[in-house]
Amino acid sequence: MTQEITLRRPDDWHLHLRDGAMLQGVLPETARHFARAIIMPNLVPPVVTGAQAAQYRDRILAALPEGASFQPLMTLYLTESTDAEDVAAAHASGLVKAVKLYPAGATTNSHGGVHDVDKVMPVLEKMAQIGLPLCVHGEVTDPQVDIFDREAVFIDTVLDPLRRRLPSLRVVMEHITTQDGADYARDGGPNLGATITTHHLIINRNHMLVGGIKPHYYCLPVAKREKHRLALRAAATSGAGRYFLGTDSAPHVDALKEHACGCAGCFTATNTMALLAHVFEEDGALDRLEDFASLNGPAFYGLPANEACIRLVKHDSPQHWPEKIFTEAGPVTVFNPGYPVHWSVEA
Ligand code: DOR
Ligand code: ZN
């Protein structure tokens, strides 16, 4: 029996589009289903100033397929020399919707990020004053801290002290991967939100490591043990306003994923909505998918929900999407959940 649901068009509150040939190749995958996305600034070189964000926005708009309606929501990459006045001006003009804090060395192209939060306090104080959200990659980089503990340690030693120091700062915990992250977001009050990726609702660390290493399941923060995946599922499917979809769809060409030192990132732009329908149906929460994918994010960012809708249909037979997207930069493997999915997005 076919089943279907209609949702307001979703937004992606955490997306990597890259630049040049990769941008050209992957942007249609997101623009097909999503109305807006928060665009990550970790290009090489990173998007640090308002002027750089304006240029990047124009390159994204120029790469859009004809007839597509998609709005990139730009972010700035926070560095220890970021100018608070430049940030404020980029926000006042409507260009920039958030600033991204990468602890230096935490992930792809983060070496220009923040070593010492004290050094960026003037920028954060300005952001708190003007209501501009800070998106945080929440992992410590201390080599002494085990990679599976880095999120929990970040919450205790960096995030919580920062939020106590500056309670009026609006913060988004990006791509939470642990029960600790879900609990901290739940208890954090109205100035705290959290994005959750599609892939962290589907895989745990066994999926990545048992029976051979699966480089296309390697991302950062790395997938954790099953109890954490279940905590994320409970959070996302609860409908609670502080959790919203940020796919962290992060394309890397296959040659750099299937590599002795493979890049972090799962590419889910193509099939995220079908996968989420599967996940929410499995948890008896299809009626809350719209909260997670289409309503909670705009509410946190103070933007209207989209007026247009998409239709998700469940078919009798498993649905298929391309195994790879062939960009001019090289092939990019689409995330494979490892089980049949009967849902698709219908035009
Ligand atoms: O898996 C990831 N890939 N996590 C990140 O934080 C960055 C991203 C990327 O840019 O490739
Ligand atoms: Zn990311």
Is residue 250 within 6 Å of ligand 1 at its C-beta?
Answer: yes
CATH number of the CATH domain containing 115: 3.20.20.140
pLDDT of residue 141: 95
Q: Which residues contact 172 (CB under 8 A, 6 or more apart)?
A: 13, 98, 133, 134, 135, 136, 192, 193, 194, 195, 246, 300
**Residue 248 bears catalytic tag:** yes
Divide the 347 residues of the chain into consecutive groups of 10 and give the mean pLDDT of each group: 90 98 98 98 98 98 97 98 98 98 94 97 98 98 97 98 98 98 98 99 98 98 98 98 98 98 98 98 98 98 98 97 98 98 95
One-letter amino acid identity for 227?
A: K
The total of structural domains in the chain comes to 1
Cα angle at 92 between 242 and 309, to 5 degrees? Answer: 45
Record the tokens describing residue 93, joined without a space: 């003009």
Instruction: Output the pLDDT for position 1.
Output: 56
Q: Distance (Å, rounded) from C-alpha 181 to C-alpha 278?
A: 24
Which structural domain range is residue 283 located in? 3-346
* Exposed / middle / buried, residue 89 (Cβ in 10 Å: 0-12, 13-18, 19+): middle
Q: How far is the CA of 48 from the centre of ligand 1 (A)?
A: 18
Which pLDDT belongs to residue 23? 98
Atom of ligand 1 at shortest distance to CA of 219? 1
Calculate ∠ Cα 329-335-339, nearest 5°.
Answer: 150
Rounded to the nearest angstrom, the distance between the alpha carbon of 325 and the centre of ligand 1 is: 18
Query: Which position has the token pair 């990019």?
Result: 332
Q: For residue 265, which atom of ligand 1 is closest to its CA?
A: 1
pLDDT of residue 283: 98
Mutate to test the pocket of ligand 1, among 107, 173, 174, 216 (most ligand atoms within 8 A of CB): 107
| Catalytic entry in 187, 248, 254, 291 | 248
Query: What separation in Å is there between the alpha carbon of 176 and the centre of ligand 1?
Result: 13
**Residue 64 has what pLDDT?**
98
Cα diameter, the chain: 59
Residue type, 47: V
Instruction: Kindly list the protein residues that place their beta carbon closer than 5 angstroms to ligand 2, a single-atom ion.
Output: 248
> Nearest to residue 10, comparing CAs of 192, 269, 190, 234?
269
What is the C-alpha to C-alpha distance for residues 284 and 252, in angstroms, rounded to an integer? 34
Question: Cα(226)–Cα(119) distance, rounded to whole angstroms?
Answer: 37
> CA 129 to CA 95: how far, in whole Å?
18
E-strand stretches of the chain = 3-8, 12-15, 36-39, 71-77, 96-101, 134-136, 171-173, 192-196, 243-245, 309-314, 324-327, 330-333, 343-346
**Of ligand 1's atoms, which has the minimum distance to the CA of residue 263?**
11
Q: Which residue has the tokens 């100033």?
A: 49
What residues pair up with 5 in beta bridges, in sequence order? 312
